[in-house]
């Protein structure tokens, strides 16, 4: 029996956040390290060039998101969905965790 241990989002039915929403939340909390986007729907959102250093993105849906030039240093991408996201290996190597994440090529990170 296979048991899916990934974080259930519970937010799949909500429309994706927009870049302006993320920028607004960043301004509200004052620091990317304090920003929690855990389990948020960010499918297809343009997050290019944003400072996402240390952001909590556990279980977030980032499929088809544009993360080009975004700073993902220290970001927690545990169980995040990065399928078809525009992101480089170099960016992902700087993340705090990719455990169980669906990678841009559809594979699951160990």
What pLDDT is recorded for position 9?
Answer: 44
pLDDT digits (tens, 9 = 90+) for 61-107: 999 999 999 999 999 999 999 999 999 999 999 999 999 999 999 99
- Look at residues 70, 107, 110 and name the one whose alpha carbon lies nearest to residue 86: 70
Ranges of each domain in the chain: 1-110
pLDDT digits (tens, 9 = 90+) for 19-49: 999 999 899 998 888 889 999 999 999 999 9
7, 39 Cβ separation under 8 angstroms: yes
Which two structure tokens, joined as six digits, stand for 88? Answer: 């480089």
- Please give the model's pTM, rounded to 2 decimal places: 0.84
């Amino acid at each position: 029996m296979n048991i899916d241990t990934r974080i259930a989002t519970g937010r799949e039915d909500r429309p994706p956040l927009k870049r302006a929403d993320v920028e607004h939340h960043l301004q509200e909390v004052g620091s990317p390290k304090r920003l929690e986007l855990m389990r948020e729907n960010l499918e297809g959102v343009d997050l290019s060039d944003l400072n996402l250093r240390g952001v909590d993105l556990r279980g977030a849906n980032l499929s088809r998101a544009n993360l080009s030039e975004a700073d993902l240093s220290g970001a927690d991408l545990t169980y995040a969905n990065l399928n078809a996201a525009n992101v480089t290996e170099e960016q992902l190597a700087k993340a705090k965790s990719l455990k169980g994440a669906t990678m841009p090529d559809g594979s699951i990170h160990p």
